[in-house]
Amino acid sequence: MIHQTLSGPLVKAAGVPSDQDVRLINSLGNPPPVPVSERDVYVRRCRLAGDAVDAYHGCFHTDDLPKLLSMIQGAPLLVGHDKRSLGVARFFGGEIEQHGEHNYVMPHFYWLRGHSSAEDLRVAIDGGLYCEASISFCYEMPTCSVCGKDIRTCEHLPGSLEAGKQVFYYYDRVVAVLEGSLVYRGAEPGTGFSLQRGTTVAGVASQNPGGGMDDTDQRFGIPTLRVKRHGKWYQAPLIEEG
């Protein structure tokens, strides 16, 4: 299982909540115990993942976008991935929308006007202080666009050119959306891959194709270990101890 985080811009305010917004909020799984009306909520929306190749050199299959949108439904929206705080808003509804030449998941999110910090949040969003929303999700397979294998172990490097085309990978078999966050402009992309199982790993070691990590690297003539970090491959010579 691979954990990935993607950010997208908050886009033009959704305006006055519609009847459909209210219906969707009140029919979420685990809905508000006291049904809300259009006078109770602020609604905004954001452009998240799409079928364009993103900064991590990953992208979704166009056919998977509706599934991703359905997985976002009801997820809480935090501020700055601060999991010690409670969510300030919740994702609901939304659509798949074309932007340029690509399609994107465009979830809506709402928060309550009656909350003591509701105006602070509205001002921060509408004034551009929080200008991106970010979701973290888990998927099982980064499929190489060139050879169709797991790109962590195949020989292709995301972002490099292969026969004149940029190498990328598909987020295949998405299993969950974990949380969403409002983030500041210029949020730094994190590590492209990390492994679940309790420990966060900064990169993923890869075995050289056809052999173990002690294979002799043809370019350098010495055994090397290849590590992928932030979407780039790095090599380190293996030095025998003792």
Q: Which parts of this chain interact with Zn ion (CB under 5 A)?
A: 144, 146-147, 154, 156
Residue 151 CB, shortest distance to Zn ion, in Å, is: 6
CB of 206 to Zn ion, least distance (A): 11
DSSP codes joined into one string, 93-155: EEEEEEETTEEEEEEEEEEETTSTTHHHHHHHHHTTSEEEEEEEEEEEEEEETTTSSBTTTSS
Which of 147/205 has CB closer to Zn ion? 147
User: Which is nearer to Zn ion, 36 or 167 (by Cβ)?
Assistant: 167
Phi (first) and psi of residue 164, to 5 degrees: 80, -5
Residue 199 in tokens: 């420990």
Q: Dmax over Cα atoms in the chain, in whole Å?
A: 72
What is the DSSP code (8-state) at residue 37?
-
Nearer to Zn ion, 122 or 149 (CB): 149
The least distance separating Zn ion from the CB of residue 146, rounded to whole angstroms, comes to 5
Minimal distance in Å, beta carbon 154 to Zn ion? 3
CB of 211 to Zn ion, least distance (A): 16
Of 7 and 143, the one with the shorter C-beta distance to Zn ion is 143
SS3 81: coil
Six-digit token string for 82: 């601060």
165 neighbors 57 (Cβ within 8 angstroms):
no
Closer CB to Zn ion, residue 107 or residue 158?
A: 158
